[in-house]
Amino acid sequence: MILVVDVGNTNITFGVYEGEKLLTTFRMTTKIPRTSDEYGIVIKEMLGSSQIQVESIHGSIIASVVPNVMHALENALVRYIKSTPLIIGPGIKTGIHIATENPREIGADRIVDLVAGYEKYGGPVLVLDYGTATTYDLITEDGRFIAGVTAPGIRISAKALWQDAAKLPEIEIKKPKTIMAAETTSSMQAGLVYGQIGQAEYIIAQFKKETGYKNLRVVATGGLGRIIADGTDAIEIYDPFLTLDGLRLIYERNQKVKSK
């Protein structure tokens, strides 16, 4: 079994794979400062709640966009899981070519999504990730990442509304039954969700127009991605475990390189 870890700005998501099978997932918030001991104890407890023995974990891998948690988290895996994690970064074999102007600026989470999107669905593919930010990343039929768009995430937009407008309340983010909102909560929900749907449809259309890829596949992932994917035919597939699958694929790819 391997432990895969996706460190995002909002949550840290863990997954355990046995071969290609995802056995369990669990999350903890990123923004609470923790020591390596606190990380280690929580991870062991979470694994135990899924009847997974620490001794059965023989490898681990981390993709992180939050550098300040990495020291404690890495030490936790070494000390409590007895695994020195592979870290997504320079020198890691991914199987894709980053053909942008500044490859080192591309976040680890985006690289992982692209690996999984290309491996699972082929190219050309446009991968949408609805995380803290909403990202749209294009990989060609021959495995080259050539362009990406970054937009404010749904939660960022929602937080801006209720923090910067004194009379607007904090709301649940969900798609209202109709865009014809008649009160404040549903009007905010309509603006957030239908606004994201409209953004997705326009950006996807522009990618197709500017690339000429009429056969471009469109795959979405991320916590709130299902709400958007369910609201438009422009998104073909919603894959909630795309990032975790990408981590597994990269881990396996690098193990094969080591064994040669």
* Whether residue 136 is found in the same domain as residue 184: yes
**pLDDT mean across residues, the chain:** 94
Owning domain of residue 6: 2-87
Instruction: Return the pLDDT at 260.
Output: 62
Structural domain contains residue 255: no
Dump pLDDT digits (tens) for 116-149: 999 999 999 999 999 989 999 999 999 999 999 9
* Whether residue 124 is found in the same domain as residue 27: no
- The type of residue at 25 is T
* Whether residue 114 is found in the same domain as residue 208: yes
Rounded CA gap, 197 and 175, in Å? 10
Of 40, 42, 58, whose CA–CA distance to 4 is shortest? 58
Instruction: Return the pLDDT at 89.
Output: 87
pTM, two decimal places? 0.92
- State yes or no: pLDDT of 259 exceeds 90: no
Dump pLDDT digits (tens) for 199-220: 999 999 999 999 999 899 999 9
Is 109 among the residues known to form the active site?
yes
| Nearest-5° Cα angle at 23, 17 to 26 | 95
- What value does the mean pLDDT take over residues 7-19? 95
Of the residues 6, 37, 109, 142, only one is catalytic, namely 109
* Whether residue 42 is found in the same domain as residue 167: no
Instruction: Return the pLDDT at 166.
Output: 79
* Whether residue 189 is found in the same domain as residue 124: yes
Dump pLDDT digits (tens) for 63-104: 999 999 999 999 999 999 999 999 998 788 998 998 887 877
Of 192, 49, 215, whose CA–CA distance to 130 is shortest? 192
Instruction: Return the pLDDT at 199.
Output: 97
